[in-house]
Chains A and B, each alone.
Chain A
């Protein structure tokens, strides 16, 4: 089965994804703000569906090149996590976030808080 997920091309925000083995990796570039939120919402929703359809064991979210994400956009990730947590245990996949908080200050609190949300599912790599 191949990945059927279109790249995101929103104002100031792009995202692409690739599957290797049982790992789906998505990379975000640019700035996620109110204007790009609808696009991000749709993209993450499709990402979740694909991860479930392909039976992924892990989704890697690479935020190292994401300059900024406002709280409104961040809620998209919270909602996504909630959906993963609602899945039956054997259908859940782990989410591994690649971050760079020393360059992107916004990641400090937001990712720390996000990891509290689902300690068994989310890992943050700095």
Chain B
């Protein structure tokens, strides 16, 4: 999986466009408070916030994403109240836009001295207080639902933190001496890991269904008619991949409506309503998500004019170049986004790729290919010194068994486990003489670890994945709970 930062030019463009969006939100918000009723402007800032939220997620500005989400909730609730809201409400909206602007300039709240968590709690208080007073009035169609928080929206960071907490509970269980304590701690670990396991896989269908409302609203705004066909079956995705795919879909569906689907009068013999279909299937360990429209196809002549250096073969790929747009004006809906280059970069970040196929007059198909979720991991399993705890390291390490020296790490000591720590192990029976170690090699790294059994290759189930930089994770191998060591992150 390729994990890396976005090129500075993408980040810079994201900052500029997002600051413009925030400026528009502020300006329209102030007008609304002064009684200016402009539905079009409300829709426009709704799109601005939605795009900002998506772009921030793609680029990795998680704090801006969180603020944009809160601003969506605040503005939706304000519209329910006809913008007759409290001073506190007005204040938190103003402050949220200010916070967002500052974070867009600096990126990290902590580095900027901003207590974002504290502020978001203030926003939640205001939302809660205002909802109590909420009138029964339909939501302004421009805004997203009031609350969009569900289990599948837990951030990757939050899931990682929960997994680390579950891992800590498991370590406490290993060290507990009293049977009733062991039973209780093991129960805590089991329930935490079961819950986390449920959160590890995201269904694609609800993510795609969320596109319907925004797609129809956008089509209506542009005077177009569309039919959105969804056939993604029971496709499931890893949470990080799901985030990237969802954000890609937001952009691609919007692009299809704005650039692809023609006005009804221009569709000739094609059906009055443009058809956009989203289909997904798993092929050889990868999920293929195809977003297909029956619109005009990519305007190759416009692409050629913008990229005269591209060969015929390269022409379609040009649309994924940084900053590419065929639009001459910047007032359109999708021409102002961070663009297909950012969609591509977001997918690349999670090990995916994107391709485009277009036929003039018949339509365009964009296919996202991302890794299918897998919870399996190849590991070397061995027992800790004393043979009491099942341990493992990723199979990317090359192990060599050798006599133990003082330089070898004792996992029991490093993990600060008590000498009596133990578990019931049934699947590994290859005892070594005392004082042996396994020398692990991976690239330039070389780390010796004390062991009690020969390392054996095994396939483990990742029941509670911790972040890659965390030194530990709990796996199961043939039903045996096993501590995965990440030696490169263990500090002796």
Contact = CB atoms under 8 A, between A and B. Distances in A.
A97 B56 CA distance: 34
Contact of B115 (A70, A72, A106, A116): A116
A112 interface: yes
Interface string A68-108: 00111011001100100100000000000000000000100
A21 interface: no
A85 B122 CA distance: 21
Interface residues of A, number: 22
Contacts of B118: 112, 115-116, 119
Contact of B94 (A78, A106, A119): A78
Interface in B98-153: 98-99, 101-102, 112-116, 118-119, 122, 125-126
A78 B87 contact: no
A71 B34 CA distance: 13
B362 interface: no
Nearest to A110: B91
Contacts of A120: 113
A74 B88 CA distance: 10
Contact of A117 (B90, B99, B125): B99
B113 A113 contact: no
Interface residues of B, number: 21
Given A109-B122, A109-B126, A113-B91, A78 B112 contact: no
Contacts of A79: 98
A118 B118 CA distance: 11
A8 interface: no
B115 A115 contact: yes
Contacts of B119: 113, 116-117
A109 to B, nearest CB: 5
A121 interface: yes
Nearest to B112: A85
Given A120-B113, A121-B113, A109 B91 contact: yes
Interface of A: 70-72, 74-75, 78-79, 82, 85, 106, 109-110, 112-121
Most buried by A among B91, B116, B118: B91
B92 interface: yes
Contact of A82 (B87, B92, B102, B125): B102
A106 B116 contact: no
A115 B115 CA distance: 8
Contact of B114 (A74, A106, A109, A119): A119
B95 interface: yes
B92 A113 contact: yes
A116 B122 contact: yes
Contacts of B125: 109
B87 to A, nearest CB: 5
A85 B105 CA distance: 12
B119 to A, nearest CB: 4
Contacts of A110: 87-88, 91
5 contacts: A71-B87, A75-B94, A78-B98, A116-B118, A121-B113
B112 A116 contact: no
Most buried by A among B95, B112, B119, B122: B95
Contacts of B99: 117
Most buried by B among A71, A85, A110: A71
Given A71-B90, A113-B91, A113-B122, 16 more contacts: A70-B87, A71-B91, A75-B94, A78-B94, A79-B98, A82-B98, A85-B112, A85-B113, A110-B87, A113-B92, A114-B95, A115-B118, A116-B115, A116-B122, A117-B115, A119-B115
A105 B112 CA distance: 29
A109 B88 CA distance: 7
A72 B126 CA distance: 17
Contacts of A106: 87
B113 A118 contact: yes
Closest 3 pairs (CB-CB, A-B):
A71-B90, A116-B119, A120-B113
